[in-house]
Structures are given as structure tokens and as C-alpha cells.
Structure 1
Amino acid sequence: MDRTKIIAHRGSKGTHPENTLEAFREAVRVGSDGIELDIHLSLDNELIVIHDESVERTTNGKGNVQNLTLTELKQLDAGSWYSPEFSHCCIPTLQEVFNLLEEVDYQGLVNIELKTDNYSYPGIVEKVWAFVTEKDWSFSVEYSSFNYETLVQLKEVDPTCKIALLFENNGENVTSLSPTIPVRMWHPKLSWFKGIRNSEIPVRIWTVNKNEDIQYCLQKQVAGIITDYPERALHIRNKWQYEGE
């Protein structure tokens, strides 16, 4: 039986400030099979790792990422909102995250979510693809998005890249994006998966944090669990799926 992969949501989001180098370092430390992160484009066209279009929820700044330069973004405190001990944290670039993972010889999966569902960020697909493919990284890379047109663009740029559909509701769980682009992986919300109970396509479920939900997904033998608490999920997974081997 293939073991369910434990994917750290925005790094170890439950224990560290999300989408920071510290959160990704913790995800690696606990042995996460995968790491999920989100990207936007700054005013000066840099690939920025942050979840929201705005910086206000996770930093001491104001405004949208697309209206701020990298220099301006780097001046923000991206950790104190979580805990004073993380006041040194700043918003990372995709380059910085990849450099960190390369330095620690991370060999898992990195899932890049392109946050194009509210802003289109012209050129982001080509920029991400060019960056990811400029060298052979120690880890593998896949892409996801709520904006299916973004995924189509990725497959047009690189037909060999791996994509996953992010969705919450019925009707969004399509099995192909075009006659030439079949869908091989879904990333649905936990509540949707509980409603259908079985999936015709492999699924990585988000966001799975409660012990009983982790156990439920393991019983269903899902492809992956996307969680804010990777260390907890790994402990439960190792107990459930390693026993008897």
C-alpha cells in the first residue's frame, strides 16, 4: 500500500508563522513528505511567497503585494503577529525558499500554489516555470491553483509538468481541462471529500488538522494530507500505516 503523504501547509503553519523560512525549515525538520506554498508577483515582478493578496493579515504592513516592491516587502515584520519570538521573520521570495530547501538537501515534494484566482498576474506562469526549470533541484515540484486557466497555461508552457486542481465544491472536480490535458490529481477541501467519501481521481485533502480527520483520511487511503501540523500528522500516519509492515 502506498503511504499517504503528509504535506506541510504553508510550511508548519500551526507551529510557526506561515510561509516563512522558519516554517519551511520546521517542515523539513519533522520529516514532511511535501511542502505547500503560495506565490504572488510584487510590483517589480519578483516571485513572493505569501498567501494573501494583501500583506495586512500576516505582517505589520498595509497594501497589496502587487503594489509593493521587493525592498518594501522585505522591510515588513512577518512573524510578530504569530509570536514575538518570530519578530525577525520576513516575507521570503521563491528563490530564498528553494535555496533553503536545497541547502538542507530536501528531497520531498514542493507544491507551488499560484494565487491567480483574484489577480491574474500577467507573466507569472512563464516566470515561475523559467525559475523552476533553470536547474535540477534536490526536490520535485508540482503546481496547483483555483484558477484552472493558470493550470492550462502551465501545461501549454510545459506539457510534462504536474498539476493539481484546487477546489471546494461539486462541479469544480473536473477530470480534464481540455481534450489534451487530463487531470491526474485533485486537491479538494476536506468537507467536500467527506461528502463524496470516495474519489475517482487521487486526492490530497486540505486542510486536515484534527486527529480524527487525519485518521479518517488515512482510512480512506488518500494520496496526501495537507496539514498545518505536519509533525502531528506524521506521528499518526506512522502509527496507522507502518504497523504490520
Structure 2
Amino acid sequence: MPLIYGHRGARGETPENTLASFQRCLEQGVTRCELDLHLSADDQLMVIHDPTLKRTTGQRGKVARYSAAELEQLDARAAGPAWPQPCPIPRLRTLFAHCPFEHWQLEVKSASRVRAERMVKAIAALTGEFGLEDKVTVTSSSRSVLRALQELAPQLARGLVAEYAWLDPLKVAQRYECSMLVLNWTLCSPERLRRAQQLGLHVSVWTVNEPVLMRRLADLGVDSLITDFPGLAIATLGNR
């Protein structure tokens, strides 16, 4: 059975990338998660997918223009699903303190070289503070982020996120000495999976929400699935 990662927590059942979402993931017995990071104006690691606030909070503006304290005052329920209590944008520090995951996929979106270096330094410092270096893989589709990880935080495992088929993800993963390949499931052909695993890469596929697809990818031999419905994945695959 492949390992199961909650996508932004349990995105299909609770507002994504919120403390409630990650707690829901854990409650369902899924002890691995995937999340997205952006830096606040005061260089705090904030857990939010988009660089802007509109979709999840209804507010205008970029994450990078607000302090962490200001971002924590916003309610991130706007993208749904419905949830009874306000859900602030959390700091990564808050999740590290309250969510005992066995492993974290921390995705960093594309960034300039300077911003990538700031992100990587912040992640290295926080994971070191919590002693989580061996429980984290920092993932990105950005070569500037992967390069910064190589140079500034070689102690952290790296993963390449590949969403499109316009380049050979295996070559890029090798170039940046990645240990994980995070594939859009549509790119996960038997041949690509076989080649990746032969190179020692852990192949994680997203976003896998249908039971039929979960079973097909499990039979194919993927190492892990990223899903909006971690409880459904456990129920679907746990008795195989």
C-alpha cells in the first residue's frame, strides 16, 4: 500500500492549509501531509497556497505585503468547504508545534533567487529549531528554489514537483540531487515510475481523489498518494 499524504491537510473536508485541516487529517489516521509556503513581510513562513489572499480569504493583496500577525487575523474559509469556526492562515511554526506528523512535504512555489534563498534559510532554521530535519522534504518546481536548497540547506531532503510533460523530470531531479519526485498523476506512466524508482526516487503523485484511481496507482506501485480526502484513501486502500 502506498503512503498517504493529506493535500493541504484534508482539503476536501475542511478549509485548505488551516490548522483545522491538518488536525482533521491526523484524526483520520493519516500522519503525513503536504502543504504550501509563502513568506510574510516579516519573513515568517505562512501556510497558504496562493501568493495572493483573494481566493481563500476574500481579501485583496499579496501575502508578502502583510506581517505574520496581520495574516493570522484573516479567515481562510472563503474557498470552502463550509466550516463553522474561523480558520486563520497559520504559521508553519504553529503546525510544527501542534501537529505530530511523521513526514511533511513542504512545497515552495517559484521565486526569485533572492526570495528563494530567504525561504530556504527560514525553512532550515525552523526545521532545525524543532528537530524535524529528517521528517521534512522541501519540494518545488522552481530551479532557483532547488538550487538554493542544494547550496544553503543540503541537510534537507529535496523533491521536484512536475506538473507538465515539457521536460524530463528525471533529469531535473537528478541534477538537483532530489530524493522525491512529486508527479501530477497524469504524468505517472509505468515506464516513468519504473525509471524513477530505479534511480532511487520516492514517487509521490497528486491529486488523487477517486477510489478507482487510488487503486490503479497503488497497483502501479507508486510510493505515495497525495489526496484531498485522506480518510477515503485509508478506507479505500487500507484493507487491500
Give the structure-2-normalised TM-score: 0.88
- Residues 205 and 178 of structure 1, relative CA distance in 2, 3 Å threshold: closer
- Residues 138 and 16 of structure 1, relative CA distance in 2, 3 Å threshold: farther
User: Is structure 2 residue 165 aligned with structure 1 residue 136?
Assistant: no
Contact in 1 for aligned 2:36/2:49 (Cα 8 Å): yes
Deviations 1:105-142 (A, max 9, x none): x2511111112358962511111111111232498111
Deviations 1:50-91 (A, max 9, x none): 000111101131111011222321221112542553441110
Contact in 2 for aligned 1:189/1:207 (Cα 8 Å): yes
Contact in 2 for aligned 1:4/1:225 (Cα 8 Å): yes
CA positional deviation for 1:232: 0.5
Deviations 1:182-214 (A, max 9, x none): 333210101111485633113100111111110
Query: How many angstroms apart in 1 are the aligned matches of 2:97 and 2:84?
Result: 20
- Residues 176 and 67 of structure 1, relative CA distance in 2, 3 Å threshold: same
Query: How many angstroms apart in 1 are the aligned matches of 2:114 and 2:188?
Result: 28
Contact in 1 for aligned 2:111/2:144 (Cα 8 Å): no
Contact in 2 for aligned 1:5/1:33 (Cα 8 Å): no
Q: What secondary structure, in the 3-state scheme, does the structure 1 residue paired with 2:105 have?
A: strand
- Residues 139 and 90 of structure 1, relative CA distance in 2, 3 Å threshold: farther
- Residues 32 and 138 of structure 1, relative CA distance in 2, 3 Å threshold: farther
- Residues 118 and 228 of structure 1, relative CA distance in 2, 3 Å threshold: farther
- Residues 228 and 121 of structure 1, relative CA distance in 2, 3 Å threshold: same
Q: Which residue, 72, 75, 88 being the options, matches 2:73?
A: 75
- The share of aligned pairs that are identical, in percent, is 28
User: Is structure 2 residue 167 aligned with structure 1 residue 175?
Assistant: no
Q: Residue 134 of structure 1 aligns to which amino acid in structure 2?
A: E
Contact in 1 for aligned 2:13/2:81 (Cα 8 Å): no
Q: What secondary structure, in the 3-state scheme, does the structure 2 residue paired with 1:16 have?
A: coil
Query: How many angstroms apart in 2 are the aligned matches of 1:119 and 1:62?
Result: 26
Match of 1:66 in 2: 64
User: Is structure 2 residue 160 aligned with structure 1 residue 165?
Assistant: yes
Moved over 4 A (4+): 117-120, 176-179, 194-197
Query: How many angstroms apart in 1 are the aligned matches of 2:212 and 2:30?
Result: 19
Query: How many angstroms apart in 1 are the aligned matches of 2:57 and 2:22?
Result: 17
CA positional deviation for 1:17: 0.2
Match of 1:229 in 2: 229
Q: Which residue, 73, 94, 106 being the options, matches 1:112?
A: 106
Query: How many angstroms apart in 2 are the aligned matches of 1:168 and 1:138?
Result: 26
Query: How many angstroms apart in 2 are the aligned matches of 1:110 and 1:39?
Result: 12
Q: What secondary structure, in the 3-state scheme, does the structure 1 residue paired with 2:146 have?
A: helix
Query: Number of aligned pairs?
Result: 233
User: Is structure 2 residue 113 aligned with structure 1 residue 126?
Assistant: no
Contact in 2 for aligned 1:209/1:229 (Cα 8 Å): yes
Query: How many angstroms apart in 1 are the aligned matches of 2:208 and 2:114?
Result: 28
Q: Which residue, 147, 150, 175 being the options, matches 2:145?
A: 150
Q: CA RMSD in A?
A: 2.3
Q: Which residue, 26, 43, 60 being the options, matches 1:28?
A: 26
